[in-house]
Structure 1
Amino acid sequence: MQVFHSIRLALLASFAGWLIQCPVSAAEPDSQPIPTYSVVVQDIDYYPIYKADLASNEYSGYLRDLMDAFAAAEAIRFEYKVRPVRRMIWEYTRGLYDFALPDHPNWNKSEKLGMELSYSPPLLHFADGLYVLRENAGITREQMADYGTIHGFTPWKFQDRIDQGNVELITASSPENLVLMALAGRVEVINLAAPVAEYHFRNLDATGRFETAAHLLPVSLSSYHLSSARHPDIINALADFLEQNPEIPQQLQEKYRFPALPSGD
């Protein structure tokens, strides 16, 4: 596990070595500063994929490690700006930041209307599904009375039924709280990415308590991307980095104990 834990440090050390060998002293007036780019991120705890905290402006998890590895390889720096979800979208579409993470071509289409955005290849593919307690595994779509998700996430999977009043939307501030609510019987059906669900099931000693509810909604694959309206060149460089270094995301996924994708995908 040590090799997985030290991936980012090794890449940063390599970058530091490059700086030391550089023949131009940092004190010389013609030395070039490290190019620095702003990345706006959601104020959401979706660990281990990502975790952002507005109060401390800290950002961590798989996406952060992967971006740091890319930045070290390119000799650039990313500065992460944590913003509430709706504020993030509003500010990003008005040009306040260089990049948004995570993003997806299908997200916030009306807000992005007229923007020429470049998207990276997927930084992560993951299974996205519904979970119920094992004792509720037989619930049918007709019996489904609620839908639990993270505050700020769009409940598009059941939006029609929520709008019609047939399903109650219940939100939690974090995946941990959502799982605890389900264990306490305060919500019956919850939606989480598989890496996030399994991480919290382990931490809350709830492994084996939940089952996927594919009969309510088939498990689907989702993906996260980096987007930019200003720097398609960096997006292209990230695409090259992912293609040339497939072992890095793989090792990071092993480090964070991401589950395998469903067979056949």
Structure 2
Amino acid sequence: MKKFLAAALLALSMPVAAEQIYTIGVEQAAFLPHYSGDAQGNYQGFARELLDSFAAHSGVRLVYKVLPADELLPALLDGRVDAKYPDNPNWSEPAKAGHRLHYSQAVVNYVDGVMVAPRRVGRGIDELRRLAVVDGWTPWGYEDRVATNQILLVSSENLPRMVRQALLKDSDGAYYNVVVAAHYLNNVRAKPGALVFDADLPHTRSTFNLSSLNHPELIESFDRYLKNQQSAVATLKAKHQVEKNLFSEYVGMEQWKIEFLERQKAKELESGVQH
């Protein structure tokens, strides 16, 4: 009995390991299906569910700090947040100079490009004279034409405004994340297919990553999660459709639209064979 009591007292006297808590800086923006963060600190979408799943599997606690996009990197570099999502090694390179950031494996793939009215698809870059861009975005691949006034940038305060400009023909196209723009058209504006991605125009394919300055152990743990829970990650991607048709010509389109276009192609091929 004495031995049991001694062991029990020893166990009670041993310090309990504190739960590891990390503060993740996330973006204050309506960017579904990837994520949505507001000024009240609410955060949801694919990224939230993925990070919550990682925390549950890894035994850590994540606290989300929603910040305007231009405040995220400074918050990471001065230690106000432990990690930043999304990030990418190629973003804001001058501001990151002198800092050794740690990056996770690719979390999700994305495409930024130009959405145009279906009748304008394939017309080429020379027909793109006015390009709507949300304030703060850089239309990569169009810098030279913008600098020489071959393309005029049409400022938009947000995605809804930019889509409206393109639909009203105030611009010839709209530059944005293709999946996010299509999600807005399909689910919020209820105009599926009103604007479509023109893959013939310059566009960027890259990835969203998790980054940290002072916590490489967090990045290593997150990478293990991405590797060991590939099935769970794939299920979340499919649920939120963050990579929907990303590697096909139908990126961002709803399935009924894809099936319609495929039937049209089949008819055209059949007609060509008959002639």
Q: What is the TM-score of this pair, normalised by structure 2?
A: 0.78
Which structure: larger Rg?
Answer: 2
Task: Decide which structure has greater helix share.
Answer: 2
Which residues of 2 match residues 23-62 of structure 1 at below 5 A? 30-53=15-38, 55-62=39-46
Identity among equivalent positions (%) equals 27
Q: What is the TM-score of this pair, normalised by structure 1?
A: 0.80
Q: Report the counterpart of residue 18 of structure 1 in structure 2.
A: none
SS at match of 2:124: coil
SS at match of 1:66: helix
Q: Report the counterpart of residue 270 of structure 2 in structure 1.
A: none
User: 1:237 Cα deviation (Å)?
Assistant: 0.9
Q: Report whether the alignment pairs 1:202 with 2:186.
A: yes
Is the contact made by 1:45 and 1:52 (CA closer than 8 Å) also made in structure 2? yes
Amino acid at match of 1:97: V
Structure 2 regions of 5+ residues with no counterpart? 1-7, 250-275
Q: Deviations over 1:143-175 (max 9, x none)?
A: 312222333223233122223333222343443
User: 1:50 Cα deviation (Å)?
Assistant: 1.2
Aligned residues: 237
Tell me the C-alpha RMSD between the 2 structures. 2.4
Which stretch shifts more, 44-53 or 224-233? 44-53
Is the contact made by 1:46 and 1:174 (CA closer than 8 Å) also made in structure 2? no
Write the distance in 2 (CA, Å) between the matches of 1:41 and 1:91. Answer: 10
Write the distance in 1 (CA, Å) between the matches of 2:78 and 2:103. Answer: 17
User: 1:84 Cα deviation (Å)?
Assistant: 1.9
Write the distance in 1 (CA, Å) between the matches of 2:94 and 2:155. Answer: 24
Structure 1 regions of 5+ residues with no counterpart? 1-22
Q: Report the counterpart of residue 117 of structure 2 in structure 1.
A: 133
Q: Deviations over 1:61-101 (max 9, x none)?
A: 11111111001111111112222222222232233221011
Which stretch shifts more, 163-172 or 108-117? 163-172
SS at match of 1:125: strand
Which residues of 2 match residues 1-265 of structure 1 at below 5 A? 30-53=15-38, 55-203=39-187, 204-217=189-202, 219-258=203-242, 259-263=244-248
Q: Report the counterpart of residue 253 of structure 2 in structure 1.
A: none
Write the distance in 2 (CA, Å) between the matches of 1:157 and 1:98. Answer: 32
